[in-house]
Amino acid sequence: MIEVYIDGASAGDPGPSGAGVFIKGNGIVEKYSFPLGEMSNHEAEYYSLLKGLEICIEKGYTVVSFRTDSQLVDRAIEKEYVKNKTYAPLLQQALDYSKKLDLFFLKWIPSSQNKVADQLAREAIIRNKE
């Protein structure tokens, strides 16, 4: 099984944002850092999930376990529902992507266990200025 650690970060809310994706398992270790432009921290968290799912689909990783320190994203995926309708299209896109995989899990983890993805997201914030 492939483990995918994701994190979104913003310098301000909204502000320059980034997404980090760290993939490991089955001899694979991959790191991705995506500048996202101006958005809220919650939007960046959703985009990190979408980027992670896109990578898995593109690379043919079909049995994946995602890890996030965002309780908002974790709950939204679990319930397939968001209160804030701003995030509804992002949630729907993530659910659609997840259905393209044979097995998809998303688990909440504390920030202390998500340091690599966090660092990648923070690097992406800086790259917004390039």
Q: Which tens digits make up the pLDDT trace of 13-69?
A: 899 999 999 999 999 999 999 999 999 999 999 999 999 999 999 999 999 999 999
Tokens of 101: 């995989």
Residue 71's nearest CA partner among 105, 35, 42 is 42
The model carries a pTM of 0.96
Average pLDDT over residues 95-106: 98
Dump pLDDT digits (tens) for 66-83: 999 999 999 999 999 999
In the chain, what are the domains? 2-127 (3.30.420.10)
Tokens of 31: 């790191």
Cβ–Cβ contacts within 10 Å for residue 4, how many?
A: 28
